[in-house]
Structure 1
């Protein structure tokens, strides 16, 4: 009983509903393996005996009841309350409430400190716990009974003093008051107003080319500005990016944006070296002219060469910056000092980690890495400001990875809040019979709570302040995560549950503070309580076109989830052209990702059926569109005619690869965009790669060294894309249809 209770308290799940809808029980051995991983993260030679179990239960379950107030508690803005814990008794309590200074900006609050006295006999008991034959009660204080003004949301300080032996019975803690839902911004509307439906593009930033210069080896913030200009000119209201987190400086070739060193920091490789502030432009131009490295001649990024080139430039710029600072400080230097002050210890820790792990030839002080974060942050903020200047309603949409690597700064600097003896992944499903291990480290739910959720708060804040909206990868991680033990002998993993309500409340609060819309990536196995919570907090869901297929058909775009981001494709699935031509299947077969030739054949046969269903979906969607847009009639009629003829030629409801050329792909793509743009979803997103007809996957899940993941670049520059008539025509079609729906 004691061990089972500890497993429950540590959040180790006992069962779950799998991808087939079956109730699956997690073997006791696997659950115990996860518990051992949690404990061994603290003590390598820990043995789970009765004493350890009893001590852990006391620490997690009993000790909080013996504290006068929790070190961290929360309630919602609509009904703010707080709780105290006391052995059952009648006594007077003196309460001090001090509002957080930053919170005053979101209300008209004039008084920031409150004090009152209350007797326990006048308080409701909302919980109890018996320990050593003593009944401990959880008393609830309704703040509106004592504070006669509307309290602002924020992290407020509370202090409680008990009348009996007040010198011994005093406690302080944090009271978080949160909004009930996430920030809505441009999505807000009144009951009498129609819901606005926005559209935008998505891009992997490293793929972009801003110019033909030989030194342009990776997409940067200059290329991003050009992409923003194009998107805004086409009527788009947002531009979605891959995670821009800082990666492992010791291994620049490990380039997955979803395996970061620190999610609170930016990857300096995205800095536009031509517009670095505080650097003499003439000297910089001369230095760049002397650099003859040709990085722009291939379609794949050579990360090691790009790293070496850019960091040589960064060293030069930092040297000029320091020389100018020693002679006469400018506003840029003052901004840098303020940036370091605001970022505090976490920036210093990150910079020291970078200095200690950088290649020997780099040999720069930690302040150099603070400087790079300052420049990267400035340039990214300028990009978001540029979006707003050009009239985009949302602007940049960031992407927050689910975890960070073991040897990176985020985990190493916050080890006490992570479980370093486990990694995050997914249980076996139809995509991977053995499950998935993503190789990133999970936060420990108990340690996170004991640290007053500080790391989670700072993580959310660091990302939200940069963007108009933030997509949270694998948002189910707020509720539960599948853990794999680092030691294989400890079993096959289990779900670990998190303090969901508290994390959700923090998310709501931070989104309002940053004016940032929240999108939860909820693809995969999604528990019903997750779906319900997303709806209640107005967090947008994330749909993927390929995954909407059901009952051998693609559903009408009018049946898509309204409160969602609908993406035609993303980084984990094939681009539209690759899917249509079966190229993705051929590549996977060549990489040995199918168990047999028979499975490959079956996949191709299944794809032929799906393409037939796609044509049926397109004909239905274009027919509906035709009745509402007379100005599109000529273009739409011709497409409907060709598709109907092709469907009629295939009574087997299958469209083999030999017949796909019957319709020019560019015309098929136009129709695909027009029908998909009718989506009922609040946000509709299409990849820039799909708009230009690129067929190369940026990432193939299940591969690493055998496929160039995260290295692909477009062959066209942004200038060429801006002047591509077919691309612009597709964007104009999408904008016209989204405005109508």
Structure 2
């Protein structure tokens, strides 16, 4: 076994699996050889024996000799050719061949960003030429812009629904546009499993190429609205999603031929991929009723999207497939209408969509893009103080090898799909463009390792798609940043995130907003952090005590003492102690001051969670919990217009708007 280790380590390095990593305390950690072998094998490089490792190393060498499907570069700069293309061969009269390495061969600069067909050394490939940077905030409007971040299901509007959909979002856009906002950040709206009331987390989608079919708003497209249905303070997803699908089926059954023809015309440009999504949804509904959770639990004959069994099902259940094509059309076209309304109402950017870091292992993307996805691996996070055993998000993502083999087509499709219905995109856990923590199937999170990705290629393609769509890009950069990440992101003018709670100095004081980077988004919080009112009142501490999440060896009293000290630090930063500090049970002035703080920041864009605008004490999601906390279930207490018109909430919005303009 020891004789295998050096070749195994060589193989791991060659395929981008890091053998060592540094934890949050700066201590070097070493990945076990068993984990390296398991991860390499899952990536398609068997490493169970010395012979397998040797064959896998030979496979890597062969792949390096194979010309790429796509070369990604930047406008205006020469492009070094990869070794697989930068070579020549001489043949002597006696037939002997001599290889001539042509080191330093480059393509001349191309000035115009775009995708080009390139014929080179007998190979036909694509040259992707990215602009030097993404569109900046100043390209959309002068001055410093602001907007809210909303959880769409939490919204209440004119119509009674058990959860908010794109109709309520359209109302929210109009309300905030009238109050000076230029952007509305939204939660991920990727496709979930239709009608499944247990899989409602927006960050565990079935597909990132298509939309959550429960979100469509027929009234935005001139169709009859969905039936009025009351909902409680917490969303009953288990009951609401099946009922929503039943209501959509009733609407579909009532469509006339002209409307069906309209839907078919609108869907036609989306081609084969959309039909695959509709077929997957039809199969999922069919087999989920029999107890299957994900395509891996379907009969094996249905694992191939283009196989005879899947095609026969599509033919035999043609009307069911048409129904799911309808729900995708309804979601896509109604969300596009929201974005169009945002721009018509004067918003400079409109919707800022959210791209989840991965997809459900049993979902549609995994089914129809298997060649480009990680197999036998899930993604998560390494052990840290907040998660001593690490985190396994039970999601999958793109394989770096699969992306390269496919000419990055799945990544381009994913970015393009998001930007087709929004004015900008937030990339969740953008560090994943550089590296992801991958865990062998069935293993503990602590048995994972970092897998590197073609970072520069991926962000250049994001910049190219943002350029083509004239869209803003936000790269979520919270946490332990990989080496070499910050520079390229800044050069591409992707906005980082400056969240109030994490912007602290060496003495633990809060950093002044004037010290935030201009190319950033200033925020009072995210969906994963305590609200300002919740933090000030210690609501987050109460949850930690209730769920036994307090740091080991500490008590509620100690946490409260620490919070009281931090309240003083925060209030000093927000107001310079110009006015008396509010009591812990009076957080509303603090929420106002926090909004004014991000408004006065140097950041070109400020985004305030709706919960902070309303001075709510509860947060939408508590990381590390599933059912212990009502994640993604909370709703507004009243229609949004009514809440925004209340004097206290109106004053908070005005404080943020005026601070941006000063």
Q: Contact 1:218 / 1:270 at 8 angstroms: preserved in 2?
A: no
Deviation at 1:75, TM superposition (A): 1.9
Residue matched to 1:315: 249
Residue matched to 2:404: 449
- Name the SS for the 1:593 alignment partner: coil
Deviation at 1:686, TM superposition (A): 0.9
Q: Distance in 1 between matches of 2:149 and 2:513?
A: 20
Residue matched to 1:117: none
Change in Cα spacing, 1:681 to 1:33, as seen in structure 2 (3 Å) is same
- Name the SS for the 1:85 alignment partner: coil
**Aligned with 1:222 (options 167, 182, 185):** 167
**Aligned with 1:158 (options 118, 137, 161):** 118
Any idea what the Cα deviations from partners look like across 1:425-480, whole Å, max 9, x if unmatched? 11112221121111111321112211211111111111122211100000011100
Matched, 1:73 2:25: no
**Aligned with 2:423 (options 463, 468, 474):** 468
Change in Cα spacing, 1:359 to 1:713, as seen in structure 2 (3 Å) is farther
Q: Distance in 1 between matches of 2:513 and 2:286?
A: 51
Q: Contact 1:273 / 1:313 at 8 angstroms: preserved in 2?
A: no
Residue matched to 2:194: 249
Q: Contact 2:72 / 2:457 at 8 angstroms: preserved in 1?
A: yes
> Once superposed, what is the RMSD of the aligned Cα atoms?
2.6
Deviation at 1:421, TM superposition (A): 1.1
Residue matched to 1:206: 153
Change in Cα spacing, 1:79 to 1:671, as seen in structure 2 (3 Å) is closer
Change in Cα spacing, 1:310 to 1:530, as seen in structure 2 (3 Å) is same
Deviation at 1:369, TM superposition (A): 1.0
- Name the SS for the 2:115 alignment partner: strand
Deviation at 1:253, TM superposition (A): 2.1
**Aligned with 2:511 (options 530, 543, 555):** 555
Any idea what the Cα deviations from partners look like across 1:706-730, whole Å, max 9, x if unmatched? 2211111111112312321211111
Q: Contact 1:543 / 1:565 at 8 angstroms: preserved in 2?
A: yes
- Name the SS for the 1:20 alignment partner: coil
Q: Distance in 1 between matches of 2:157 and 2:140?
A: 35
Deviation at 1:491, TM superposition (A): 6.5
Change in Cα spacing, 1:675 to 1:367, as seen in structure 2 (3 Å) is same
**Aligned with 1:486 (options 432, 435, 441):** 441
Q: How does 1:78-157 map to 2 (within 5 A)?
A: 78-81=76-79, 83=81, 85=85, 87-89=87-89, 134=99, 136-137=101-102, 140-143=105-108, 152-157=112-117
Q: How does 1:519-538 map to 2 (within 5 A)?
A: 519-538=474-493
Q: Contact 1:75 / 1:82 at 8 angstroms: preserved in 2?
A: no
Change in Cα spacing, 1:491 to 1:589, as seen in structure 2 (3 Å) is closer
Matched, 1:660 2:660: no
Q: Contact 1:426 / 1:482 at 8 angstroms: preserved in 2?
A: yes
Q: Distance in 2 between matches of 1:723 and 1:404?
A: 39
Q: Contact 1:234 / 1:728 at 8 angstroms: preserved in 2?
A: no
Residue matched to 2:306: none
Q: How does 1:541-552 map to 2 (within 5 A)?
A: 541-550=496-505, 551-552=507-508
Residue matched to 2:261: 333
Residue matched to 1:183: 135
Q: Distance in 2 between matches of 1:617 and 1:212?
A: 42
Q: Where does structure 1 lack aligned partners over 5 or more consecutive residues? A: 41-45, 92-131, 145-149, 162-169, 190-194, 623-639, 647-658
Any idea what the Cα deviations from partners look like across 1:302-331, whole Å, max 9, x if unmatched? 11322222212211222222xx22xxx36x
Matched, 1:641 2:576: no
Q: Contact 2:137 / 2:604 at 8 angstroms: preserved in 1?
A: no
**Aligned with 1:304 (options 235, 238, 241):** 238
Change in Cα spacing, 1:186 to 1:337, as seen in structure 2 (3 Å) is farther
**Aligned with 1:678 (options 580, 593, 600):** 600
Residue matched to 1:4: 9
Matched, 1:571 2:533: no
**Aligned with 1:734 (options 649, 656, 659):** 656
Q: Distance in 2 between matches of 1:601 and 1:490?
A: 32
- Name the SS for the 1:660 alignment partner: coil
Q: Contact 1:212 / 1:717 at 8 angstroms: preserved in 2?
A: no
- Name the SS for the 1:714 alignment partner: coil
Q: Contact 1:185 / 1:516 at 8 angstroms: preserved in 2?
A: no
Q: Distance in 1 between matches of 2:553 and 2:8?
A: 48
Q: How does 1:236-635 map to 2 (within 5 A)?
A: 236-249=181-194, 251-277=196-222, 279=223, 281=224, 288=227, 294-296=229-231, 298-321=232-255, 324-325=256-257, 329=258, 333-334=261-262, 336-358=263-285, 365-488=320-443, 492-550=447-505, 551-594=507-550, 598-620=554-576
Higher Cα Rg, which structure: 1
Q: Contact 1:259 / 1:403 at 8 angstroms: preserved in 2?
A: yes
Change in Cα spacing, 1:86 to 1:575, as seen in structure 2 (3 Å) is closer
Change in Cα spacing, 1:549 to 1:81, as seen in structure 2 (3 Å) is closer
Deviates more, 1:81-90 or 1:23-32: 81-90
Deviation at 1:537, TM superposition (A): 0.9
Deviation at 1:572, TM superposition (A): 0.5
Q: TM-score, normalised by structure 1?
A: 0.79
Residue matched to 2:616: 694
